[in-house]
């Protein structure tokens, strides 16, 4: 027991004295009290904001800086793709009459709500007796706004989530104090994919009332599909647990036998009026229109009514003109052509990145079957480059942006120490950018790997782990937060 305690203390001290850890803590951890306006506490930056800030401090000019490769931003390339429908270039404001300049309903424009319902019925529910209608759909200004609305109407209950998970869930699960977040971990032996039996045990053992998860999963690139997805829906129904599923990457599927298809839990819902399955999706990833901030929540009518009400005080609703412009984008022809083009393009990019990483000796044991992310295990690299934060800082020197794995150790209100985090030796790489950017960034990562083979280069990296000039002040300001 004493040895275990000493090991934990040693890890905590190493974290407190590492410059990369200190920088990470300063940017991403909410302060214990306000330093400025009375009563105001900053929530802490998400991982993507942190890495962008650090890149800017190293010369990154933002946007499509020609000298930099941004593998950190969770966004797909937004330009035209071979075989896809033409990109929208204008919005006809005259089509909506004078009312288009008014506020849209907080539930969204009825015509778009019905178009979303029709999309789900056409793609996933053909031949089923229970069909979605506009009453099952709420239009929201972005996916995070949708999940925030759902969280705002959850009562005093335990809410489950898994680690690693999408970084924004951290703040979302912290802000709504009526819900109590309960974590569990995805394991390497399961290929970082959800273990359904473990989930059922957690629900029954801890009394979870809701579970929030991304599927396909950010950042691991794995997905629960087919019979397993059917089983997940049944677990929600049988245990009376609301399953809140972030399905933003539902088109990014790379199974050659399912080319042109997508996956959604909507396919396995028995009764759209009562089954506690909540789906969040939108134009951001699948339609490659993140700037539109036009997304939706699909679920039972009672939930849709509740989150429509919460929208009146949380966000006020989505952009009215763009809601109308989104309607034709959900047509059968548009969806099929865009989805096929997307899968062909992103599969080629995935295979290219995996091949280049293999050449560097960074074999991805569990390659992504979905999304546009690679959950890269750095364990094979020498110390200290096998730590995600150090690898991230070294990549910045080569003008490459990745996201340290610690950003995905969702830790609401900093209830847990990150010293032994299962995410510490990982980074997330996005292959969302264009191919030329992928080549530029992978060339930079190759230079980082080469530097680590040189004793002098490795020694320079080890400087990051040496004690700060003022260790007492570091422990005083960061020790309590680290614990």
pLDDT classification of 192: cutoffs 50, 70, 90: very high
Tens-digit pLDDT profile for residues 68-111: 999 999 999 999 999 999 999 999 988 788 899 999 999 999 99
For position 466, what pLDDT does the model report?
56
Distance of CA 95 to the CA centre of its chain: 35
Q: What number of other Cβ atoms are within 10 A of residue 423's Cβ?
A: 24
What tokens were used for 151?
Answer: 């969280």
The answer, yes or no, to whether residue 122 has pLDDT greater than 90, is: yes
The answer, yes or no, to whether residue 445 has pLDDT greater than 50, is: yes
Distant-in-sequence, close-in-space partners of 101: CB < 8 Å, separation ≥ 6 = 93, 320
For position 27, what pLDDT does the model report?
65
Mean pLDDT of 187-198: 94
The answer, yes or no, to whether residue 474 has pLDDT greater than 60, is: no
For position 476, what pLDDT does the model report?
32
Query: Is the preceding peptide bond at 384 cis, omega within 30 degrees of 0?
Result: yes
The answer, yes or no, to whether residue 449 has pLDDT greater than 90, is: yes
- In three-state form (DSSP H/G/I as H, E/B as E, the rest C), the secondary structure along 393-425 is HHHHHCCEECEEHHHHCCCHHHCCCCCCCCCCC
Tens-digit pLDDT profile for residues 212-235: 999 999 999 999 999 999 999 999
The answer, yes or no, to whether residue 16 has pLDDT greater than 80, is: no
The answer, yes or no, to whether residue 414 has pLDDT greater than 90, is: no
Per the prediction, the chain carries an average pLDDT of: 89
* Residue ranges, CATH 3.40.640.10, the chain: 96-332
For position 149, what pLDDT does the model report?
97
- Residue at token pair 């059922």: 200
CATH class of 96-332: alpha beta
Q: How do 373-377 and 137-140 pair as beta strands?
A: unpaired
Report how far apart the first and last C-alpha atoms of the chain are (Å, whole number): 18
User: Of 72, 44, 29, which is closest to residue 405 (Cα–Cα)?
Assistant: 72
pLDDT classification of 416: cutoffs 50, 70, 90: low
Tell me the pTM. 0.90
pLDDT classification of 204: cutoffs 50, 70, 90: very high
């Amino acid at each position: 027991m004493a040895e275990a305690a000493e090991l934990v203390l040693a890890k905590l001290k190493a974290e407190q004295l590492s410059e990369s850890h200190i920088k990470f803590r300063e940017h991403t951890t909410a302060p214990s009290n306000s330093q400025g306006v009375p009563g105001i506490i900053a929530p802490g930056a998400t991982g993507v904001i942190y890495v962008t800030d650090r890149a800017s401090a190293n010369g990154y000019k933002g946007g499509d800086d020609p000298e930099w490769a941004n593998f950190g931003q969770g966004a797909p390339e937004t330009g035209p793709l071979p075989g896809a429908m033409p990109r929208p270039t204008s919005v006809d404001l005259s089509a909506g009459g004078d009312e288009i300049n008014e506020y849209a309903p907080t539930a969204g424009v009825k015509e778009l709500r019905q178009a979303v319902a029709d999309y789900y019925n056409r793609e996933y529910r053909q031949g089923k007796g229970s069909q979605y209608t506009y009453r099952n759909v709420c239009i929201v200004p972005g996916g995070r706004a949708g999940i925030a609305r759902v969280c705002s109407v959850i009562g005093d209950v335990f809410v489950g989530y898994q680690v690693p998970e999408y970084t924004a869930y951290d703040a979302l699960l912290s802000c709504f104090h009526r819900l109590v977040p309960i974590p569990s971990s995805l394991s390497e032996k399961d290929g970082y994919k959800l273990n359904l039996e473990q989930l059922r045990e957690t629900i029954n053992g801890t009394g979870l009332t809701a579970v929030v998860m991304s599927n396909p999963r950010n950042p691991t690139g794995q997905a629960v599909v087919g019979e397993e997805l059917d089983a997940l829906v049944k677990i929600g129904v049988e245990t009376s647990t609301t399953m809140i599923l972030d399905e933003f990457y539902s088109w990014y599927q790379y199974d050659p036998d399912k080319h042109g298809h997508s996956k959604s839990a909507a396919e396995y819902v028995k009764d759209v009026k009562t089954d506690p399955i909540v789906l969040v999706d939108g134009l951001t990833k699948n339609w490659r229109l993140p700037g539109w901030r036009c997304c939706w929540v699909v679920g039972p009518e009672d939930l849709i009514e509740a989150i429509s009400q919460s929208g009146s005080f949380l966000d006020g609703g989505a952009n009215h003109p763009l809601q109308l412009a989104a309607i034709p984008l959900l047509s059968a022809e548009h969806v099929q052509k865009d989805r096929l083009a997307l899968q062909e393009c992103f599969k080629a990019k995935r295979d290219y990145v995996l091949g280049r990483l293999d050449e560097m000796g960074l074999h991805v044991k569990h390659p992504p079957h979905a999304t546009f992310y690679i959950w890269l295990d750095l364990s094979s690299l020498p110390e200290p480059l096998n730590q995600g934060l150090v690898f991230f800082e070294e990549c910045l020197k080569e003008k490459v942006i990745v996201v340290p794995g610690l950003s995905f150790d969702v830790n609401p209100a900093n209830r847990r120490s990150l010293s032994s985090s299962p995410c510490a030796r990982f980074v997330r790489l996005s292959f969302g950018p264009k191919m030329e950017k992928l080549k530029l960034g992978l060339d930079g990562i190759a230079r980082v790997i080469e530097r680590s083979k040189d004793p002098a280069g490795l020694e320079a990296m080890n400087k990051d782990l040496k004690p700060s000039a003022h260790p007492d002040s570091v422990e005083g300001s960061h020790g309590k937060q680290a614990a």
